[in-house]
Structure 1
Amino acid sequence: MTSTIRNKTLPISFALLACLGLAATAQAQSFDAYRNYGAKVNEDGGTLGLAALSVSKYRGAQDGKLWVVPILDYRWANGFFAGVRNGLGYDFSRSEETQYGLRLTADLGRKESDDNHLRGMGDIKIRPEIGGFYNLALSPSLQLTSSLRYGAGEQQKGLLLDLGVSYHMALTRQWVLGMGAGLSVANSDYMQEFFGVSTAQSLTSAYAATQAKGGVRDVRANVLLNYYLSPTSGISFGLSAGQLMGDAKNSPLTQKSSTMSGLLAYSQQF
């Protein structure tokens, strides 16, 4: 029984661990990595569930808010996938050890009404992102992830490189501990859109004009405890800590450079 549960629920471990990536941001979707949720290579399958996230109102905000978001991801045997955490795309690899491909995701932008400290900054609209990904499993429990995304911001020139590592281990037949870490590197167009202040914005806000250069946007670490109700379903409890870096940390919009977020989620394979 122990072997059966561990073998069938390893995809859920990575799936629920990925949910915690959502809690590290003020957005309901970060798309920081592609992960195969529930489906084995050359088989159809997906994951369905619901997650409650305690997050910051925006990156750098002092105050937080509660998000309740759906979990829905599906992968077809031919390599195509679609979902709220992976976006739309194609995995060329056909391998359990590596995944590489192309995908379309979205940056959800930021609304001026999200927080009083954004007053006069204007909205950053939702924008489509194009990009690719490459993942490498060093062992059944240890995985490296990377993702490149382009198109964020009002000028649609924002570029992000996301790098991460995740690890999980079975504590008992039903309890699995997951851990992860990651960082995001942004170009100057992205950093200026989200952390800089233009001359026009300085006239309508309380901030002086500020230039934000490209570099490491933030680093993240998380821990997740999964309890499996069956070989294909489970409940997840997690915490995530994040730290803004460089010009993101020093931005006049940043009230608090460090964050602590929480997650409660239910996930079911189908």
Structure 2
Amino acid sequence: MKKLFALVLAVSGSAASAQTPTTNPMPDGSRDMYAGLGVVSGPRYEGADSSRTAALPVLQIQWSNGIFVSGMSAGMHLSASPLVEYGPLLALHPRRTESGTGGRLDGVEGSAKPFLPSSVRTYESDNPLAGMDEIRMRPEAGAFFNYYLAPEWRLTSSVLAGAGNDRNGVRAALGIQRLAMALARHHSVSVSAGLGLANRAYQQSYFGVSPAQALASGNRVYRPEGGLKDVYVGARWNWALSPSWMLTSSAHLSRLAGDARHSPLVERSTNLTVSTAIAYRF
């Protein structure tokens, strides 16, 4: 079964899961690499009502031994079966400052207009994160497991642990992907959908408000439980400009769910992240 090497970009600082590229059979000792630069626009933080735009570095490498780097994640394909992909997974979970910046869209304040009509709640402060603790960038470790229903369809799953200042946040993701649908010569589209889960520690770190934080920020005390965190749909369009150059664009629409959706830090539960980048294949 031939599996296409799909270029995936980790553009959302709070994406439900780290995206794993498909297995790419290649001669021993070889590697496949994309590198480039683009632009991404999305919410300042999960649940923000304002957005920001920033430069987007593109990097994806896969070696013949199964090791890969994809955006802010890395892992290793261990399966020899054409129907199954699994292995260890590492990722960096971005930091979140009082302003909401500091994630993978780092460097641009949220001055752009929201993508969707506003349903923002009313606060004494214009920024519900004012007075909240900064959440540091944390390394996460876990595993992924993907199963192919057909050559172009795969079920995806991953678990990552280590997020939050106490390093005890755990998140998981379940999804389905349709890979590389040909629209025309040199043009292909991939689509995906799925959901994200998180434990209580993760929810408290990113959506909860402790009594001390409530005093500092003016938000009400909030203690979310673990469970369903969000649902999402996404699409990616790849345009092969030449054998070496590719233009890749994506849209990722997510909606917070469960206790995360009702957090006093959430201004709008539905967010859209869009990106476009040009990449060179080495």
Counterpart contact for 2:231–2:254, Cα < 8 Å: yes
> Would you tell me which structure has more helix in proportion to its own residues?
1
Change (3 A) 1:44 1:68: same
Partner of 1:241: 253
Aligned partners of 2:142 and 2:161 also within 8 Å: yes
The 3 A distance-change label for structure 1 pair 128 and 86 is closer
Pairing 1:215–2:227 present: yes
Choose the corresponding residue for 1:93, options 79, 87, 90. Answer: 79
Cα 1:37–1:126 change in 2 (3 A) is farther
Q: Report the counterpart of residue 4 of structure 1 in structure 2.
A: none
Preserved contact between residue 33 and residue 133 of structure 1 (Cα < 8 Å):
no
Match of 1:3 in 2: none
The counterpart of 1:53, out of the listed 32, 40, 65, is 40
Matched, 1:151 2:138: no
Give the 3-state SS of the residue equivalent to 2:237 in structure 1: strand
Equivalence map 1:60-139=2 (5 Å): 60-87=47-74, 89-114=75-100, 116-139=127-150
Amino acid of the structure 2 residue aligned with 1:253: L
**In 1: Cα distance, 2:44 partner to 2:91 partner:** 21
Of the structure 1 ranges 66-75 and 241-250, higher mean CA displacement relative to structure 2 is found in 66-75
Give the deviation of 1:150 after TM superposition.
Answer: 0.2
Structure 1 residue corresponding to 2:242, chosen from 230, 244, 249 = 230
Report the equivalent of 1:33: 19
Q: CA offset at residue 223 of structure 1?
A: 2.1
Q: Does the 8 Å CA contact 1:41/1:94 hold for their aligned counterparts?
A: no
Secondary structure in structure 1 of the residue aligned to 2:79: coil
Q: Percent identity?
A: 33
Residue 97 of structure 1 deviates from its aligned partner by: 3.4
- Structure 2: which 5+ residue stretches go unaligned? 102-126
Shift in CA distance, 95/86, structure 1 to aligned 2, threshold 3 Å: farther
How many positions carry a matched residue from both structures? 254
Structure 1 CA distance for aligned equivalents of residues 23 and 57 of structure 2: 14
Structure 1 stretches lacking a partner, 5+ long: 1-6
Which amino acid counterpart does residue 141 of structure 1 have in structure 2?
Answer: E
TM-score computed with the length of structure 1 as normaliser: 0.86
**What secondary structure is seen at the aligned counterpart in 2 of 1:58?**
coil
Counterpart selection for 2:151 from 121, 140, 144: 140
SS of 2:280's equivalent in the other structure is: strand
Given candidates 162, 170, 174, the residue that maps to 2:182 is 170
TM-superposed CA distance for 1:114, in Å, is: 2.3
* Per-residue deviation, 1:241: 1.3
Give, in whole Å, the separation in 2 of the partners of 1:234 and 1:80: 22
Distance 1:76 1:213 in 2: 40
* 1:188-235 CA distance string (max 9 Å, x none): 000011001001101101112111111111111112222211234321
Checking the alignment, whether the CA contact within 8 Å between 1:44 and 1:76 is kept in structure 2 is yes
**Structure 1 residues 85 and 268: CA distance shift in structure 2, 3 A:** farther
Higher mean Cα deviation, 46-55 or 74-83? 74-83
For residues 43-75 of structure 1, what are the alpha-carbon distances to aligned partners after superposition, in whole Å with 9 as ceiling and x for unaligned? 422221223111100000000001222111222
